[in-house]
């Protein structure tokens, strides 16, 4: 069913709508430093791994620049995981598909999502290493009782959120939101 989600236009539209809401909230708040008005200063993106029907809204990551002090503010996103080229939903679900009792073969994921075996291995290490050692996760993991199995990430996280249909992946992407901003760039600086 996770394979179905990765081709589900409704999910991708919903994630875009959530990002628009997050951006509107950030814009309304004004500059974090001086409180002045924020101008649009989006980043162009060419995200990989989404369905062929991905709308034009996906060709940019919303960002703002202060009208007065030029400080940049990039709102959290449920679509883009830091500077990774692939969409966050792909970074999560492709790894989940490689886990569990009947893992999807790497060759199939390459055909369906264009994700190479090397990239899958790199993401796997990112979850087990950079992610589990991040300040974000060290603070957030205490929220889960019993603890989320760190050796089974990201599958263990998705299972823990639970719910029907695309609810778990939406919740995971929202949960990962703080990792998607520039303040977490040292963690997600590794592209790909």
Residues that bind Zn ion (CB under 5 A): 31, 33-34, 36, 66, 68-69, 71
CA dihedral 13, 163, 76, 46 (to 10 degrees): -40
For 61, residues 6+ apart whose C-beta sits below 8 A from its C-beta are 42, 43, 45, 74, 77, 79, 80
| Residue nearer to Zn ion on the CB measure, 73 or 93 | 73
| Residue nearer to Zn ion on the CB measure, 35 or 100 | 35
Min separation Cβ 180 and Zn ion, Å: 21
| Residue nearer to Zn ion on the CB measure, 34 or 135 | 34
Min separation Cβ 167 and Zn ion, Å: 37
Min separation Cβ 64 and Zn ion, Å: 10
Distance of alpha carbon 148 from alpha carbon 145, whole angstroms: 8
Cα distances (angstroms) measured from residue 56 to each of 11, 45, 96, 149, 177: 15, 10, 27, 37, 22
Min separation Cβ 43 and Zn ion, Å: 19
Contact 75, 26 (CB under 8 A): yes
Min separation Cβ 19 and Zn ion, Å: 22
Min separation Cβ 77 and Zn ion, Å: 21
Contact 62, 75 (CB under 8 A): yes
Across 87-190, the runs of DSSP E, i.e. the strands, are none
| Residue nearer to Zn ion on the CB measure, 33 or 147 | 33
| Residue nearer to Zn ion on the CB measure, 71 or 104 | 71
| Residue nearer to Zn ion on the CB measure, 3 or 71 | 71
- To the nearest 10 degrees (0 to 180), the angle between helices 88-97 and 106-113 is 150
């Amino acid at each position: 069913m996770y394979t179905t989600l990765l081709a589900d236009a409704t999910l991708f539209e919903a994630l875009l709508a959530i990002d628009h809401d997050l951006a509107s909230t950030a814009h309304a708040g004004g500059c974090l430093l001086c409180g002045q008005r924020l101008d649009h200063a989006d980043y162009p993106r060419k995200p990989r791994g989404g369905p062929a029907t991905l709308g034009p809204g996906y060709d940019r990551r919303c960002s703002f620049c202060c009208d007065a002090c030029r400080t940049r503010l990039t709102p959290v996103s449920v679509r883009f995981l830091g500077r990774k080229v692939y969409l966050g939903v792909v970074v999560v679900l492709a790894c989940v598909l490689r886990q569990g009792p009947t893992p999807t073969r790497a060759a199939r994921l390459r055909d369906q999502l264009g994700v190479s075996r090397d990239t899958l291995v790199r993401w796997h290490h990112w979850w087990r290493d950079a992610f589990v050692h991040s300040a974000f996760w060290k603070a957030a993991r205490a929220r889960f009782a019993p603890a989320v199995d760190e050796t089974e990430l990201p599958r263990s996280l998705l299972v823990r959120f639970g719910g029907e249909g695309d609810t778990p992946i939406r919740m995971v992407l929202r949960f990962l939101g703080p990792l998607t901003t520039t303040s977490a760039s040292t963690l997600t600086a590794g592209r790909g």
